[in-house]
Structures are given as structure tokens and as C-alpha cells.
């Protein structure tokens, strides 16, 4: 071989070596593309990639396609948008993320019910890969009209769902039934997960020693989701509140033991009404029957509600601790008031019973509308007022030794010396915010959803300032809980404004307590909280004719004293 041919061979060989060093090859399981959003998301560990490819990287290869960096990259970093082009000169934003990635593929139309067959893969950055048949459906109420929808998935052993399989996910329990929470109206995507974490830190189930695996609440883990190739953003993969989570006693052939009921609206769930029930119906005046699953039996819960609403005061205060677990009632009263979770006083709450003849207790649910945020995502900068329901309206008059007010003061003092400080509550927000932000999650949420508004650390600063004022306000009542007995009414007005018929076709009527100020205006909002119309109300008027399309709406009643109450309305 002459020198010129040798030199040419050497140059070509070196270029090949350089090209191999400059090209990063991504394992298929980690490589995800949304062509419509021009997004590539990779969760292969960066440290290993940078060691494997130490030189400047000019291209990246995934699933048989080469993508060229606009500028060679020496060290790949998470959360940074790299501009790359494929062989057809299509431009993409390439991101690296540490978050687990869920891909769901289905040929079926996803609906509220029933679940339809799909294929799921869950890839973690440590290389763990789960692939499984699932059944999938939309979940939630009003949230189903939002662009980003929450999902419920169930692990199946076949395409028909005739057999289910328990699967442990991301360090959480082993189960066949899971939720994917969308967080659409919550800009930080943090309130739900961190509020659940806080609740589990402050409330242990009274039977914990007998059932060490029982959990009062749920765990959530952040994941990023692709649905039929379309990037959906960050979700909360969540356990479910059910008999298994709470370790409620199973029924026998002759006895109904444990019980679980979900508040889906206000009514019996807030202990403000007591209509008759029908054991052929899984819904009863704002409550959904969740367990037992093989039989519907409302009589036990009816007995609790009847006792709370109608029992004379002497017998109520003497016996209510046999009916409802006092420590749990105290903890939940503090919890919902600390968060000022207006949507969780009767709705978005579970009422559970471990065993027959055992006291009931509360389990929280759906905590996005909290810490200075309304249900529709708007800021609620108001930090005063005490949230309540029919049960707490009675408990606030319990001045007996060892009763509700005494226990409230003791518990508030304990918690104020430990976990209820602004610093302790806000610290996890900064930690989890930095985790999501450093992985580019918030930037990608903006790519996925046009209406997404994100304020960065200012959103946490808002929570911090809101909490300072809220805790100071609650100190004034909970360090001296006897003051609650001196207030004419707590902030429970929305439970006493009755709206009917609901659902309706074109007309709705309301009924308010006689001592309420008159309604001056009704604002009609659509399901996403956007303005539809404003209606001035005449003195004494309590009927409204509506000329609006069928769907879910919210009516905001504005009273002459400035009070505002929001009620949900379904128009058929």
C-alpha cells in the first residue's frame, strides 16, 4: 500500500472512529418521540451516557433514526432543550429526564366507563421496564371536560380483563388498580402529592398496631405520560383509597364489617341533610357506596348521619366518640382548615369504618384546590374563615373535659411545635419543585398544554406568604378553641344554600336560610371556570331561567353583604 492510500485509509478510519464516538445511541426503552409536538424525551441515565461517550456528541440515535445536534454537546444534562434534526431536516426539542415514563397505547376510544383495553409500558431511569395489558378509563367529575384528563388504569392478564393482576409500582403498594392524576388546574403540580404526604405525617389510623400496613391516605409518584404517542405531561401515579389501602375488615357471609363511602357532593357527606336511602342505588345524597362491593347497605351510615344531625345535645356529647374517632376528627379539622381546602368539607372526602361497631373516621381525597387555590385554578388569597360541616358545627360546642375543643387545643399545640410551621410545610415544595424544574417538566407542560400558566418560584412564594397569614389566623382560634363557640356561624354557608332541581333542563331554584342577606347577582361559569353570563337578581327572586347548552356549570351567588357561594349545576 503506497503512502497516499495508507494516509487516505487512516483518515477514513479515524473519521469512522470519531463518528462512532460522536454518536450517542439510546436504548429503545428510554427513547420517546412526540412528532406533533416535535419533542423527544429520554430517561436513560446521563452519568452512564457521558462516561460511555466522553467526546463531543454530534448525533443521537434512537429507534433507528439519527438526529443531529445543532451544536455538538460535550456533556449531556437533564432538563435542557437540545435542538436536533432528523434526516428529513425536521427539528425537535430533545430533553433528558430522570422521571419514570409511562407509555399507553390503545386502539380503543377512552371513555368514563367502561374501561377499554390498552398496552402500558413503564420505564424507570434505572432500567426497570414493566410492560402489561391494562384497562383504562377517564376518572373524575368536572375534570373530565379539561384538555388534560385524569386516568384510572387496571392491570389485566388478557385483553378482556377477565383476570386482574397486582403490580407494585415505584415503591408503592402491590395492586391491580391505580390512578393517574392530571393536576391540570394546579400550576405547581405539587399540592396534591405534598398534601397527602402531610396528612399521613399527622394522622395514624387508630388500629395501626393491628394492621401495620394500613395507610390513611395515599402515596403518589411523579411520572411523565405518553398516550398514543402524544406527550401528556407530568402526572401523579397514585394509590387508591379502598378497603385494601385502609385494611378494613372483610365481610363474611353473614356480617357486614368494614365500610367505605366517598363524598362526591355535599349533603349527607357533610351531615347537613338526611333524605331516605335506597339500597338498590350506589349513590345517596352526595355519597357513593364504595365498600362493601358485593352489596349496598346504607343503614349503618344512615344511623351515623341521623345521630349527628338529630341527636339531642346531651346524648350527642356523651356518645359521639363511640360513633366517630375523636382524634381523627380533630386532625381532619386542623388539616382542612390549614389548607383551607374548601372542596373537602364533605365532598372529596371518604368516611370509613374499620369493623362493625367501630367508630367512623375521615380519609382525605383530591387536594389540588388548597393552599390559596380555588377548584378552577384561580388564586384564593383569602386566609380567614373556619371551614366546617354539620358534624363540626356540633363538635365546636363540645366544651367537656377530654372533648373536641380541649383535644383541638392540645393537638394544635403539638403540631405547631413540630410540623405546622411555614418553613416545615414549604420546604418540601422547594425540594419537589427543584426536582421537576431541573428535569424540565414545567417547560414541557407548557409545550403540551397551551393554557398552562407557570409562575416558577413565585408560585411557592405565594404559598409561603399565604401560609404565614393563614397560620396566624388559625392560632387565634385553635390556641383558644372556646372562641369557636362564640361565633354565630362558621364558614359553612355553601352547605345551606340549596339548589334544585339539579340536574335541570332550563330552570333552577334556590333556597337560603332566612337570616341570609338577599342574592343580588348570579354569575354562570362553564365547567372550566370561564365566564358565561351575569344575571342580576330582583329582590325576593329565587328562580332562574337558563338558556344555556347542556353540560356542567357553576353558579356563583353574590349576596348583598359581599358573600359569594359557588354551586355546581348540571344542565341536561
Strand partners, 361: 352
pLDDT digits (tens, 9 = 90+) for 331-359: 999 999 999 998 899 989 999 999 999 99
- The DSSP code sequence of 326-337 is HHHHHHHHHHHH
Span between the terminal Cα atoms of the chain, in Å: 87
Tell me the C-alpha to C-alpha distance, in Å, between residue 357 and each of 154, 206, 249, 252, 295. Answer: 33, 14, 12, 15, 19
What are the cell numbers at 446? 407548557
Instruction: Assess contact for 191 and 158: CB atoms under 8 A.
Output: no
Of the pLDDT bands very low, low, confident and very high (cuts 50, 70, 90), residue 14 is very low
Instruction: Assess contact for 372 and 354: CB atoms under 8 A.
Output: no
Q: Answer with the residue of higher pLDDT: 493 or 172.
A: 172
Catalogue the E-assigned strands of 427-490: none
Residue 558 clears pLDDT 90, i.e. is over it:
no
Kindly give the pairing relationship between strand 507-511 and strand 349-353. unpaired
What CA–CA distance (Å, rounded) separates 559 from 539? 11
What are the cell numbers at 350? 371518604
pLDDT digits (tens, 9 = 90+) for 134-191: 999 999 776 678 899 999 999 999 999 999 999 999 999 999 999 999 999 999 999 9
What are the cell numbers at 438? 431541573
Q: Provide φ and ψ at 296, rounded to 5°.
A: -105, 125
Per-residue confidence (pLDDT) for residue 13, from 0 to 100: 38
> Minimal CA–CA distance to 132: which of 123, 119, 142, 145?
119
Q: What is the pTM of this model?
A: 0.84
Q: Answer with the residue of higher pLDDT: 113 or 415.
A: 415
Strand partners, 136: 116, 153
Instruction: Assess contact for 118 and 136: CB atoms under 8 A.
Output: yes
Q: Exposure string (b/e) for 10-42, b if CB count within 10 Å is 16 or more?
A: eeeeeeeeeeeebbbebeebbbbbbeebebbbb
Residue 381 clears pLDDT 90, i.e. is over it:
no
Measure the CA angle with vertex 143, ends 239 and 564; round to 5°: 115
Topology (CATH level 3) of domain 497-571: Immunoglobulin-like (2.60.40)
Kindly give the pairing relationship between strand 564-571 and strand 531-536. unpaired
How many helices (H) and strands (E) would you count in the chain? Answer: 13, 28
26: three-class secondary structure by DSSP: strand
Radius of gyration for the alpha carbons in the chain, expressed in angstroms and rounded = 27
pLDDT digits (tens, 9 = 90+) for 40-58: 999 999 999 999 999 999 9
Instruction: Please give the DSSP secondary-structure letter assigned to residue 486.
Output: G
Sequence spans of domains, the chain: 3-96, 101-182+208-238, 248-486, 497-571
Tell me the HSE value of 174 on the side-chain side, using a 13 A CA sphere: 4
Same topology for domains 248-486 and 497-571, yes or no? Answer: no
Residue 22 clears pLDDT 60, i.e. is over it:
yes
251: three-class secondary structure by DSSP: coil
Neighbouring residues of 149: CB distance < 8 A, sequence distance ≥ 6 = 138, 140, 143, 182, 184
Per residue, the 3-state secondary structure of 14-25, as one string, reads HHHHHHHHHEEE
What CA–CA distance (Å, rounded) separates 57 from 60? 8
> Minimal CA–CA distance to 329: which of 197, 337, 279?
337
> Minimal CA–CA distance to 219: which of 186, 179, 182?
179
What CA–CA distance (Å, rounded) separates 287 from 297? 12
Average pLDDT rounded to a whole number, residues 412-416:
97
What are the cell numbers at 360? 367512623
pLDDT digits (tens, 9 = 90+) for 207-247: 999 999 999 999 999 999 999 999 999 999 999 999 999 99
> Minimal CA–CA distance to 391: which of 351, 353, 340?
351
What CA–CA distance (Å, rounded) separates 270 from 508? 22
What CA–CA distance (Å, rounded) separates 351 from 287? 9
Topology (CATH level 3) of domain 248-486: 1.10.1070
Instruction: Assess contact for 97 and 224: CB atoms under 8 A.
Output: yes
What CA–CA distance (Å, rounded) separates 370 from 383? 11
Amino acid at each position: 500500500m503506497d503512502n497516499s492510500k495508507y494516509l487516505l485509509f487512516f483518515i477514513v478510519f479515524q473519521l469512522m472512529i470519531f463518528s462512532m464516538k460522536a454518536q450517542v445511541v439510546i436504548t429503545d426503552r428510554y427513547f420517546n418521540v412526540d412528532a406533533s409536538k416535535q419533542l423527544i424525551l429520554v430517561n436513560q441515565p446521563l452519568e452512564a451516557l457521558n462516561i460511555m461517550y466522553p467526546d463531543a456528541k454530534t448525533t443521537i440515535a434512537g429507534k433507528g433514526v439519527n438526529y443531529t445536534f445543532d451544536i455538538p454537546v460535550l456533556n449531556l444534562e437533564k432538563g435542557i432543550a437540545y435542538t436536533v434534526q432528523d434526516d428529513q431536516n425536521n427539528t425537535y426539542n430533545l430533553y433528558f429526564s430522570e422521571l419514570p415514563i409511562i407509555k399507553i397505547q390503545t386502539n380503543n376510544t377512552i371513555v368514563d366507563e367502561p374501561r377499554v383495553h390498552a398496552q402500558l409500558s413503564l420505564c424507570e431511569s434505572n432500567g426497570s421496564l414493566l410492560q402489561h395489558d391494562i384497562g383504562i378509563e377517564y376518572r373524575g367529575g368536572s375534570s373530565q371536560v379539561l384538555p388534560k384528563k385524569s386516568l384510572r388504569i387496571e392491570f389485566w392478564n388478557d385483553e378482556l380483563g377477565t383476570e386482574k393482576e397486582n403490580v407494585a409500582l415505584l415503591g408503592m403498594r402491590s395492586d391491580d388498580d391505580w390512578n393517574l392524576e392530571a393536576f391540570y388546574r394546579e400550576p405547581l403540580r405539587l399540592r396534591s402529592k405534598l398534601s397527602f404526604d402531610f396528612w399521613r405525617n399527622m394522622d395514624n389510623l387508630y388500629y395501626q398496631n393491628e394492621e401495620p400496613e394500613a395507610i390513611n391516605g395515599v402515596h403518589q409518584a411523579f411520572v411523565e405520560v405518553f398516550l398514543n404517542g402524544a406527550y401528556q405531561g407530568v402526572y401523579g401515579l397514585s394509590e387508591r383509597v379502598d378497603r385494601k389501602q385502609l385494611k378494613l375488615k372483610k365481610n363474611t357471609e353473614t356480617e357486614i364489617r368494614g365500610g367505605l363511602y366517598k363524598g362526591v357532593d355535599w349533603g349527607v357527606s357533610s351531615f347537613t341533610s338526611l333524605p331516605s336511602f335506597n339500597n338498590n342505588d350506589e349513590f345517596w345524597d352526595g355519597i357513593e357506596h364504595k365498600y362493601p362491593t358485593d352489596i349496598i347497605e346504607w343503614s349503618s351510615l344512615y344511623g351515623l348521619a341521623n345521630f349527628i344531625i338529630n341527636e339531642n345535645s346531651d346524648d350527642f356529647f356523651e356518645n359521639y366518640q363511640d360513633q366517630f374517632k375523636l382524634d381523627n376528627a380533630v386532625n381532619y379539622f386542623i388539616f382542612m382548615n390549614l389548607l383551607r381546602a374548601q372542596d373537602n368539607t364533605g365532598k372529596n372526602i371518604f368516611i370509613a369504618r374499620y369493623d362493625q361497631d367501630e367508630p367512623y373516621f375521615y380519609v382525605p381525597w383530591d387536594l389540588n384546590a388548597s393552599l390559596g387555590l380555588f377548584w378552577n385554578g384561580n388564586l384564593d388569597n383569602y386566609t380567614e374563615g373556619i371551614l366546617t360541616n354539620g358534624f363540626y358545627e356540633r363538635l365546636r360546642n363540645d366544651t367537656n373535659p377530654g372533648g373536641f375543643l380541649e383535644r383541638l387545643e392540645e393537638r394544635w399545640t403539638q403540631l405547631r411545635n413540630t410540623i405546622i410551621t411555614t418553613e416545615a410545610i414549604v420546604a418540601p415544595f422547594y425540594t419537589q419543585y427543584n426536582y421537576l424544574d431541573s428535569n424540565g417538566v414545567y417547560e414541557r407542560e407548557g409545550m403540551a398544554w397551551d393554557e398552562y400558566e407557570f409562575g416558577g418560584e413565585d408560585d411557592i412564594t405565594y404559598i409561603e406568604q399565604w401560609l404565614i397569614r393563614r397560620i396566624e389566623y388559625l392560632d387565634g382560634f385553635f390556641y383558644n378553641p372556646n372562641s369557636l363557640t362564640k361565633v354565630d356561624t362558621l364558614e359553612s354557608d355553601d352547605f345551606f344554600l340549596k339548589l334544585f332541581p339539579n340536574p335541570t333542563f332550563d330552570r333552577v331554584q334556590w333556597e337560603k336560610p332566612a337570616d341570609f342577606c338577599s342574592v343580588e347577582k348570579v354569575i354562570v361559569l362553564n365547567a372550566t371556570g370561564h365566564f358565561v353570563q351575569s344575571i342580576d337578581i330582583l329582590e325576593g327572586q329565587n328562580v332562574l331561567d337558563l338558556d344555556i347548552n347542556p353540560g356542567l356549570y357553576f353558579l356563583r351567588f353574590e349576596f348583598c353583604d359581599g358573600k359569594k357561594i359557588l354551586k355546581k349545576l348540571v344542565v341536561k
